[in-house]
Structure 1
Amino acid sequence: MFSFLWNLLANIVLRVFVWVMAFIICFGNVFVICLRSCIASENEPHTMAIKSLCCADCLMGVCLFFIGAFDIKYCGEYNRHAHIWMETLSCQLIGSLAMLSTEVSVMMLTYMTVEKYLRIVFPFQQYRAGRRQTLCSLASIWALGFVLAAAPFWDHQTFGNFYGRNGVSLCYSTGIFLVLRLTNFGFHKVY
């Protein structure tokens, strides 16, 4: 249980953990993006995929910063504002950013796994993902991630308050979770 009667985050351990993880996630991913941008790479498509993965992961750090900030805002009186908070655009956007981050990260890892698998299993084939193919793949992954994250906003009658079902806005639909995760898990086990 994340939320409690008086606070958005139930205890001090969660509060500290959210801030520490947010900092580590953002700093680590920005560091990797900067490092990869400064160092020349022989495999530019792979570097592009890593930078894209870091951007997706960094979004989760941003979500954690916002959750920590709203926990401070509602400190000691969350029970008076809980329903209002879960209906706000802020809560909805944090939830959609969390969904975007996790789904894009998982799809990106699957793409990188399949791409590396093909290079290892068929080393003498001419298959090499070029810059253009990689850009198209990454753009498709991000587009699908945006669609999955934005879908609950399109049909409020079907989805209801999808991202506001709990205080930290991290509720995922069972269908997306099972279908995408099982598919990605299958790719990782097969490849």
Structure 2
Amino acid sequence: MTTKATSTGAHQQSDGTRERILDATAVVLTRKGFAGTRLVDVGEQADLQAPAIYHYFKSREELIEEVVVTGVQQMHDCVLRALEAAPAEARPIDQLLIAVEAHLRQVLVASAYTTAATRNGGQLPDHLRHRYESARQAYGDVWRGLLTAAAEAGELKPDVDLGIVRMLVLGALDWTAEWWRPERGSFDQLVKTTQAVVLNGIAFP
């Protein structure tokens, strides 16, 4: 009984340390980028000695890969939750605008993981890109479905290419992580302006 309790406690502590390392990496990666992220910086952020990280991750690259993939998955889950919570009467174009807000909120407010993924996914070396690209593709499929539904409902301008629109919109949303700061204006105003740009650019008024 005592052995089992001790083992369980150690496992929980181990899991907590692993999460602390991941959380710290997300913060450091957001600040310093892929090339500038060092394990010693992660250790300082996590209040650990850098060598202790190797008990949980084989390498710096494995650690960064995990953070970036988690960030994309969190974005995916966030947008799906927002869509599931949409009113039953929401039109396809309304759902598209809900996704715009959810994406911005996740990148800029809710998750250091998603911010780190957005700012650094493109910097990953080729041998680390498979899981990241798979996660991005799955997330892109959500947007592909939203745009297709809006087009089939006759809510989008007929001359727009949905593939180009998807890449342009996602690129613009991701880029806000590079330039938006609260002193530039409220988050709500950013959402409203972005939604207006999407509506005026691809949807019928």
Q: TM-score range by the shorter chain?
A: 0.3 to 0.5
User: Given the two structures, how large is their TM-score scaled by the length of structure 1?
Assistant: 0.33
User: Given the two structures, how large is their TM-score scaled by the length of structure 2?
Assistant: 0.31
In terms of fraction of residues, the more helix-rich structure is 2
Which fold has the larger relative contact order, with Cα–Cα distance below 8 Å and residues 6 or more apart in sequence? 1
